[in-house]
Amino acid sequence: MNQFLEKFINSVFIRPGSALDLGAGDFKDVKALKKECWFCEGVDLKTGADLKKPYLSQNASLDLVFSNYVFQFIKNKNQFLKTVSDNLKKDGWLFIHTFDDSDKAMKSGISEEFIKQILLDNGFKDISTKVFDYFDDAPGHNHWHRILEVTAQK
Ligand SMILES: C[S@@+](CC[C@H](N)C(=O)[O-])C[C@H]1O[C@@H](n2cnc3c(N)ncnc32)[C@H](O)[C@@H]1O
């Protein structure tokens, strides 16, 4: 599982809850959370869910919605954040990893200030952001990224 997501979950939740992964890729984080007794659903373009459009889980009112390395692909960021909010219960948590605008491999146009403002605009609270360097050693990658991590509460 994404080690940073795992650390965040362990710092916020004292027991397993319910989660949704927006842009789940190969569903590795979904599978890992299920192993830890979470209810966890994932959606991805590859499995027919286009997050350019609204998405509402049958299990909306979730404890956590997370989305890793997808936000930079989404043009209508307000609509994406509405999807996050619509699937969360009140006080539920959002966790996003994306690439900061200072990332050399992926010009995202996303800064901490920008994401803080649109989260405020979409009614989120307890917003926290950080940017850090991370070496991507996946086959064929082998380069540094500037990761932007964002957490917030509905
Ligand atoms: C870099 S991968 C990240 C996968 C996974 N979140 C992870 O951390 O390993 C980006 C994923 O976003 C998905 N994606 C991109 N645009 C999307 C869209 N409009 N709707 C749904 N999924 C999308 C892609 O299909 C891909 O699986």
Q: What is the pLDDT of residue 97?
A: 98
Q: What is the pLDDT of residue 104?
A: 87
CATH fold, domain 3-153, is Rossmann fold (3.40.50)
Q: What angle do CA 122, 114, 67 make, to 5 degrees?
A: 65
Q: What is the pLDDT of residue 60?
A: 86
Q: What is the pLDDT of residue 80?
A: 98
Average pLDDT, the chain: 96
* pTM of the predicted protein model: 0.97
DSSP string over 104-136: SS------HHHHHHHHHHTT-EEEEEEEEEEEE
Q: What is the pLDDT of residues 16-45, one digit of tens each?
A: 999 999 999 999 999 999 999 999 999 999
Tell me the torsion sign for CA atoms 137, 141, 146, 149.
negative
Q: Which atom of ligand 1 is nearest to the CA of 46?
A: 25
What's the CA-to-centroid distance between 136 and ligand 1, angstroms? 17
Q: Which atom of ligand 1 is nearest to the CA of 21?
A: 6
In single-letter form, the type of residue at position 144 comes to W
In angstroms, the CA 135 to CA 145 distance is 6
What's the CA-to-centroid distance between 43 and ligand 1, angstroms? 9
What's the CA-to-centroid distance between 153 and ligand 1, angstroms? 22
The residue whose CA is least distant from atom 17 of ligand 1 is 45
The whole-number average pLDDT for the span 68-80 is 96
Q: What is the pLDDT of residues 95-109, one digit of tens each?
A: 999 999 999 888 889
The whole-number average pLDDT for the span 143-149 is 95
The whole-number average pLDDT for the span 62-68 is 98
The answer to whether the CB of 44 is under 6 A from ligand 1 is yes
Rg (CA), the chain: 15
What's the CA-to-centroid distance between 17 and ligand 1, angstroms? 23
DSSP 60: -
Q: Greatest CA separation found in the chain?
A: 41
